[in-house]
Amino acid sequence: MILRTKCLRPVIIAGLALCITACARFKQSTGTHDNAGAFATGHYRNLLVENGHSEKEVHSRVEDTFQQLFHGNPTNETVYFSCGSNSNGPLACIEDIKHQDVRTEGLSYGMMIAVQLDKKAEFNALWNWSKTFLYHSETNHPSFGFFSWEARTIGTRMSEFVAPDGEEYYVTALYFAANRWGSGRGIYDYKKEADALLWRMKNRAEITGEVQWQGAARTVTAGPLFDLEHKMVLFSPSSERNRFTDPSYHLPAFYELWARWGPVADRPFWHEVAMASREFFPHAVNPSTGLNPDYANFDGSLVSYARHPGSTNFEFDAFRTAGNWSVDWSWWAKDPRERELSDRLQTFFESKGTNYGCRFTLDGKQIDKAHSPGLVAMNAVASLAASNPVRSKRFVENLWNTPTPAGLERYYDGLLYLMGMMHCAGEFRIWEPK
């Protein structure tokens, strides 16, 4: 019996090794292995402190930036405006100053900023405005259960189409609010609101009907905000447009949280969506410059969108993509290719000096010389994933030396700047259930 046991031992050990290896591969393939990112460690790098600034100085800079953009001079500083109240309480919007409109992009960014910085009053007022003026409760409307992406500051809808990046930020901000502050009643039952919106983003049935856009009615069919076959977020769920994606809408760091906190039946899907986005990034990015287009097909190839002639270039939407993959690396550390992408992008922009413009062809030809603090901020956030410490510190310091945006362009530049400053200061965090 002893001899027989000794003979079987190598086989048993080998079998156990194979089992452990298979389990590890299964965990990785299903996205349940958390590696060494901030979700597992609880450590959020403060890149500004790493650059030699004091923690007090960094925190004050973030707070001062928030105060300027949310409560500064209304003529040339703030983008946040109080808009009275209704039965749900105070109302407030975030205005795109240049275009004199309100967008789900800005409202949802504002809510994310507010929950990260513990500004509950501002969070609730922005959510109340969103639900009051932009939410579609009409069950026969193609945008039912979602939000019109654009409106006037008085709440009149300019477009009834959906821009899914707004819904993505709404959901994650609501989960963070539920976890940080606890859910309330009605529209302030943050967890219930997040669950319902997230369920519709994947499962809502297609609806055919009229959608108002620029004063005209169009008959369209629209359904979920994600392509279920490719497991990717859509640029628009409307049949009026070909089905394609926007690289800057890909937020795998958020999808991993939805896979843990969202409706149970859909959690495996969100794991797959996170993996699909990580696989998508390298295909959408230029192999030399690290630049990505504003829009892309699901395989990363270029898509030309007639209403946006620059859609095949690196333009304003594209600023955000490097921030998305870098935050994903910072929080989850699951795909080392994200580090390579940040290195490639920073190498390109380093070759352009510090005042490098903001619009490029993907092979690196500069389209204009306009300077964008929002792009400066996202290039600094790329340092969360970058592997060259000397180069990445220069991008962080460039952000520190850039003043808070003011004036006509302060909406987009300002929100990206503030969120970039928060990421670099370690003040943009996962708020987990208590």
- Quickly tell me which residue has 């504003």 as its tokens: 294
Residues annotated catalytic, as ranges: 105, 317
The domain defined by 33-77+244-426 carries CATH number 3.40.50.720: no
The domain defined by 79-224 carries CATH number 1.50.10.10: yes
Q: Do domains 33-77+244-426 and 79-224 have the same CATH topology?
A: yes
Of 374, 416, 379, which is closest to residue 394 (Cα–Cα)?
A: 379
Distance, in Å, from the CA atom of 304 to the CA atom of 306, rounded to the nearest integer, reads 6
Distance, in Å, from the CA atom of 176 to the CA atom of 388, rounded to the nearest integer, reads 32
CB 315, CB 359: distance < 8 Å? yes
Per-residue pLDDT in tens (0 to 9) along the chain, 434 residues: 223 333 333 333 333 343 333 333 333 333 334 568 999 999 999 999 999 999 999 999 999 999 999 999 999 999 999 999 999 999 999 999 999 999 999 999 999 999 999 999 999 999 999 999 999 999 999 999 999 999 999 999 999 999 999 999 999 999 999 999 999 999 999 999 999 999 999 999 999 999 998 888 999 999 999 999 999 999 999 977 679 999 999 999 999 999 999 999 999 999 999 999 999 999 999 999 999 999 999 999 999 776 777 799 999 999 999 999 999 999 999 999 999 999 999 999 999 988 899 999 999 999 988 999 999 999 999 999 999 999 999 999 999 999 999 999 999 999 999 999 999 999 999 999 99
Distance, in Å, from the CA atom of 122 to the CA atom of 106, rounded to the nearest integer, reads 13
The residue ranges of every structural domain in the chain are 33-77+244-426, 79-224
Q: Is the pTM of this model over 0.85?
A: yes
